[in-house]
């Protein structure tokens, strides 16, 4: 599913991302720390954009060097 220009991104907690991807929570945190995925923390929970996670799983994820996480 592709986001339209007006559609808000869907964020999921790390536990859900783990189940969806098969990547451990520890490894997801490491990927975020290494800048390979972006994490978003609007509250105490660390969240990941679903489409970005899916792109990473497909091997198509690239985070531009000058772009910061939301």
The token duo for 4 is 């339209």
Average pLDDT taken over every residue of the chain = 84
Which residues lie closer than 8 Å to 8 by C-beta, 6 or more apart? Answer: none
What band does 5 get if pLDDT is binned at 50, 70 and 90? low
Report pTM.
0.72
Residues 6+ positions from 15 with CB-CB distance below 8 Å? 25
End-to-end CA distance of the chain: 21
Question: Quick check: helix, strand or coil at residue 58?
Answer: helix
Tally Cβ neighbours within 10 Å of residue 9. 13
């Amino acid at each position: 599913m592709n986001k339209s220009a007006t559609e808000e991104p869907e964020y999921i907690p790390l536990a859900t991302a783990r189940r969806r991807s098969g990547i451990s929570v520890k490894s997801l945190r490491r990927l975020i720390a290494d800048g390979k995925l972006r994490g978003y923390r609007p509250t105490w929970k660390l969240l990941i954009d679903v489409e970005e996670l899916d792109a990473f799983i497909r091997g198509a994820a690239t985070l531009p060097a000058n772009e910061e996480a939301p």
